[in-house]
Structure 1
Amino acid sequence: MIKPKTTKKETRQELESLVEEFIKAKGEIQQVDMGESGLVDGKYNTSHIGFSEPRQDRTPLNHVVAAIQHKKHPPSSSSAPKTNKTRPKKKVIYDDFGEPLRWVWEDE
């Protein structure tokens, strides 16, 4: 059986009721400055930031990128400009009462 999704309104009501229950049970809500919860001893926790190793040299791959771009968009072999060929259009032929009879192809 699939559970029905809860709406935003139901989620808000549930959170509000949980907060009210917490306060009624002599709970206390502390006000914390923005960003303070991410601080360790008043400083940002930098132990997880990966700048401890020296910077590594990167291998230039410009020729590989150029080869891929060349495959994607090969240069056109003809120097003549392309002409737009008009394609025939399908047109409906109706009878006297407005009912469709058949389709015909017309050149534009």
Structure 2
Amino acid sequence: MKHPPSKQEMRQQLQREMDAFLSGGGQVDEIPRGQSAIAPGEIPPGMSRSIPSSGPKSKRESLLHVTQAIDERRRLKAENKRRATPLKTNRSPRKVPVYDDFGEVIRWEWRAPKE
């Protein structure tokens, strides 16, 4: 199984490649800070091609009425749900297990429902 190269091996490989480039007549150009390699209006590699055009900005529309309508529907739905839920009339005691520290049932108790 081939292991991935360590950081030290990668640094050494990069240094060898740079030395070979420079010894073969290559040159490193200094680029001023803040300057981009991408020409104005050019789409950078890896970016989506669906970038909006630089035409006039369209006026934004307020969607406050839409969010208010959604909130109102939610409120009505919750209100109707509360009305439709019948009140529990069964107030009889329940049989509830009592556990020890290890999760074993040690006894059963009858408990009245919480009010």
Q: TM-score range by the shorter chain?
A: 0.3 to 0.5
Which structure features the higher share of helix residues? 2
**TM-score, normalisation: structure 1:** 0.45
